[in-house]
Structure 1
């Protein structure tokens, strides 16, 4: 689908996000430096991948089984040691390693593989999740339409403008969590994907994409107001 390949920016607001270069997220003036702790990342437990990446039932739209063997094992869901200072419930994204950590308890975090911003679009800083959507609609910003006019033929009317209704072909996948800073929607998301094979690569314009099974696992555990920290290089 053309839209999946064209998704080099994931704002669904119809305008350019508030920040578009490293260090412009929220109120920060410089990229947040790594705070994972020197002993973080050692695998403690791995789930049954045939089960966790299998078909998801009870959804409005099907989430089909994901062939996890096409992704490096480093980017599959696992419980790891975590020695950073963040409190339980915090999300920490480490773009250089293409990992997202959900801090469970002191010393432990669930780690997921992610796709992160391409060179020239990557960002870092602090935010909060102030909105969440199950099977979200997606409206491409004007800048994306200008870069990839071929997607226009695939757009349809949504409550927020011409875009893609929530469903199995939507570039935001099964879930989206919306990042806010300074009381404003920053235009960036943690979201699912129609291209799970891209996990572990630099693929989007600052947004953080996850395998649909992983975002569906993280989503109900993430409260409104959750702190998100995106680390610098």
Structure 2
């Protein structure tokens, strides 16, 4: 994990203009968190009213120099912005890396997977030996930590090991709890997945 942070930190130097600023909610999708079937899985509803309104999926005014289709992850306020035309963005609430697992930098979406297999890295198994049973990969499913979708982040050195992914732990949104990945509510990662193209720029600030 330390080595990943080291080569990602070289991509820093983000300005306030690049990061963007939000100037108001335009449309909120609080009703979009109900149960649904997805590729044979019965995705449960999320008790969205137990999550702060600011973390509900919504279109906001957003000023940035980044092109539409780019993603900006604001780790301070725990928002992910998908940049849209005309000074707008789709904003999602996220969970981020806990203390000691934070990172910043510029990457790109190299792969997209639906109901992905999760393979814990060796350093995670060392910290949590009970995960050794998934050394060969945990199949996709409702209890899989990567949730319904995953976007795989690469930089010039290759796979960063970090993902934008869904999570069955909806109550982790708005908190710093992960091992460095950026997690979204499953209904939100499905929405983001359908918008993002391979090669999309991802800036984590």
TM-score clears 0.5: yes
Report SS of the residue matched to 1:186: strand
Residue of structure 1 equivalent to 2:102: 122
Report SS of the residue matched to 2:35: coil
- CA drift of 1:59 comes to 2.4
1:95 aligns with 2:75: yes
1:174 aligns with 2:148: yes
Task: Check 1:105–1:118 CA distance in 2 against 1; reply closer, same or farther (3 A cut).
Answer: same
The answer to whether the 8 A contact 1:179-1:186 is kept is yes
Report SS of the residue matched to 1:218: helix
Q: Whose RCO is larger (CA < 8 A, sep 6+)?
A: 1
The answer to whether the 8 A contact 2:9-2:104 is kept is no
Paired with 2:116 and 2:15, the residues of 1 have a C-alpha distance of 32
- CA drift of 1:33 comes to 4.2
The answer to whether the 8 A contact 2:149-2:189 is kept is yes
Residue of structure 2 equivalent to 1:46: 28
What are the within-5 Å matches in structure 2 for residues 66-81 of structure 1? 66-81=46-61
Residue of structure 2 equivalent to 1:25: 8
Paired with 1:18 and 1:130, the residues of 2 have a C-alpha distance of 20
The answer to whether the 8 A contact 1:133-1:177 is kept is yes
What are the within-5 Å matches in structure 2 for residues 203-214 of structure 1? 203-214=177-188
Residue of structure 2 equivalent to 1:230: 204
The answer to whether the 8 A contact 1:32-1:230 is kept is no
The answer to whether the 8 A contact 1:18-1:186 is kept is no
Paired with 1:206 and 1:167, the residues of 2 have a C-alpha distance of 21
* TM-score, with structure 2 as normaliser: 0.92
Please point out which of 207, 211, 217 is paired with 2:191. Answer: 217
Residues paired across the two proteins, number = 204
Paired with 1:41 and 1:218, the residues of 2 have a C-alpha distance of 21
Residue of structure 1 equivalent to 2:41: 61
Report SS of the residue matched to 1:32: coil
The answer to whether the 8 A contact 2:58-2:91 is kept is yes
The answer to whether the 8 A contact 2:120-2:131 is kept is no
What do you get for the CA RMSD once the two structures are aligned?
1.8
What are the within-5 Å matches in structure 2 for residues 128-139 of structure 1? 128-139=108-119
Q: Which runs of 5+ in 1 are unaligned?
A: 1-15
Please point out which of 156, 161, 184 is paired with 1:187. Answer: 161
The answer to whether the 8 A contact 2:153-2:159 is kept is yes
Provide Cα deviations, 1:12-58, integer angstroms capped at 9, x if missing partner. Answer: xxxx585135xx31852x453443344x24111112x23x1011224
The answer to whether the 8 A contact 2:9-2:103 is kept is no
Residue of structure 2 equivalent to 1:7: none
Q: Which runs of 5+ in 2 are unaligned?
A: none
- CA drift of 1:73 comes to 0.8
